[in-house]
Amino acid sequence: MEKYEVVKDLGAGNFGVARLLRHKDTKELVAMKYIERGHKIDENVAREIINHRSLRHPNIIRFKEVVLTPTHLAIVMEYAGGGKLFDQICSAGRFSEDEHRYFFQQLISGVNYCHSIQICHRDLKLENTLLDGSPAPSLKICDFGYSKLGLLHSRPKSTVGTPAYIAPEVLARREYDGKVLFQLYKK
């Protein structure tokens, strides 16, 4: 942790807190997700780290490293200075069809990449899509806390994610193939 300095808090969730930090040598801004050590560090956190670190795509937040402190496990990631897509839509009121298309194509590109390497996000929503800080912002998928790797973690069958966004198959507690659902919804 000695190589980073805290800039500000970014937010909090069920997992813990996220902070904006600056690398002392390179001055690069990074986001750090802190998870309290103890019972919160479970197989889901291990799966998040394993799955996220294997992803290399322009529309997915870049995983950088894991840092252990005496009290927390911290996941260091690329910082997306444009904030959440959800907040952008709320402040704009609505997007034009061209803006929707621009962001949707990036979302589909990132999800398709995940599925091509057998990773299913399982909590995809506006709040888990960030924008980088560039003048023509790019969409970045984040938060792989509920993700599963098809080859290693079997097919998903648990009820996870945000209730308002859960697929009917999940609510019915039926085993499902996230990639097949994606293909159906993509049409």
Tell me which residues are annotated as active site. Answer: 123
What is the distance between the alpha carbons of residues 121 and 118, in angstroms, rounded to a whole number? 10
* 140 Cβ neighbours under 8 A, 6+ residues apart: 59, 60, 61, 78, 80, 110, 129, 130, 131, 132
Signed CA dihedral, 170, 173, 179, 183: sign only:
negative
User: C-alpha angle with apex 169: 163 to 172, nearest 5 degrees?
Assistant: 80
* 168 Cβ neighbours under 8 A, 6+ residues apart: none
